[in-house]
Copies of this chain bind each other. A is one copy, B any other.
Amino acid sequence: MIVVLKTEATKPQIDHAIERVQELGFEPRVITGAFRTIIALIGDDNSPGVEKLDAIPGVEHVHRILKPFKLASREFHKEDTIVPIGKVRIGGGHLAMIAGPCAVESFAGLDQIAGFVKKAGANILRGGAFKPRTSPYAFQGMGEDGLKILRDVGDKHDMPVVTEVMDTRQVALVAKWADMFQIGARNMQNFDLLKEVGQARKPVLLKRGMSATVKDLLMSAEYVLAEGNPWVVLCERGVRSFEDSTRNTLDLSAIPNVKGQSHLPIIADPSHATGRPDLIPSMAMAAVAAKADGVHIEVHDCPEKALSDGPQALLPDQYASLMADLRKLAELLGRTIDR
């Protein structure tokens, strides 16, 4: 860590800063430059006192050198984490092909879609029972009834299931019925929820928040890991930008960026990122080419009657055609899609 002092810092301020640094447990090395003084700190950048350094009088700014996450870091865990969800593995060359409707609407509806996507090559079924909706007047999901339907349909088609959990009070219930928790983008920094799923010991699909940096995403993963749950799968699903012709801006560079720093798997969700069925297939292909560990795609057999987010769903035929292309690409790249 480097503490940079202001050009106009006085001798007593510099001395005080050195003293404070020592009190906080660091060994200071003072460097007197052409224009200003800096103090290099030997010690752990992640020690709790660090955040107070900025407020010492005469300090201009503090520059951290170590990454602020540990358990999520590849520095201390070189090999890829492979997350098991039922018999499907995610990471280390194994691709998750997660598909299903935005919301669970009925057994018959979900059953039909599951049949389609399973046949096309999906290996994990998704469907929301608790829906985070911008408007309080929009459909909020079927709740526990939806969870049961999801479980039954997953079992019928021999697919593990993933579904969103929105509130700490729902964690036990969701754990009862689903194989994997999804933490939505809006809850990426709902820290109590992260702690709760960290204690639940089921895999967690953690979506990047709409204004979260890659570092923020890894820090949120760190919350889950720090509670003892090692099964975190990250998901890039687009960030907010000024571009207004897509719902969000899919930041595919986050995929190799995460993979360089962390051993955790990361997939992409082009459905929520673009909100446009015409762009989803290209973005799914791009994600796998960028080394994503899978893709998350919404599929609905009648988007115009879907209770939630119909407009961004692929039709079963479109999904089957995309999966045919993805399989060829996976093969070219030496990746496996577990069934």
Which residues does A use to contact B, with CB under 8 Å? Answer: 2, 4, 7, 20, 29, 31, 33-36, 38, 40-44, 46, 48, 51-57, 63, 65-66, 68-69, 75, 132-139, 166-169, 186-187, 189-193, 195, 209-211, 213-216, 219, 222-223, 226, 239-246, 249-257, 260, 273-274, 276, 278-279, 282-283, 285-291, 303-306, 308-311, 313, 328-329, 332
Q: Is the CB of B38 within 8 A of A44?
A: no
Q: List 16 A-B contacts (CB under 8 A).
A: A34-B44, A35-B65, A46-B137, A68-B134, A68-B135, A187-B190, A239-B249, A252-B282, A252-B283, A253-B282, A256-B278, A256-B282, A257-B279, A260-B279, A286-B286, A288-B289
Q: Are the C-beta atoms of B192 and A166 separated by less than 8 Å?
A: yes
B residues in contact with A63, CB < 8 Å: 2, 63
A4-B65, A239-B249, A253-B249 in contact; A304/B219 too (CB < 8 A)? no
**CB–CB A55/B303 < 8 A:** yes
Q: Which residues of B sit under 8 angstroms from A273, Cβ to Cβ? A: 253
Q: Which residue of B lies closest to A284 (CB)?
A: B289
Given A286-B286, A287-B286, CB of A55 within 8 Å of CB of B251: no
In the complex, what residues of B have CB within 8 A of residue A43's CB? 33-34
Which residue of B is nearest A331, CB measured? B332
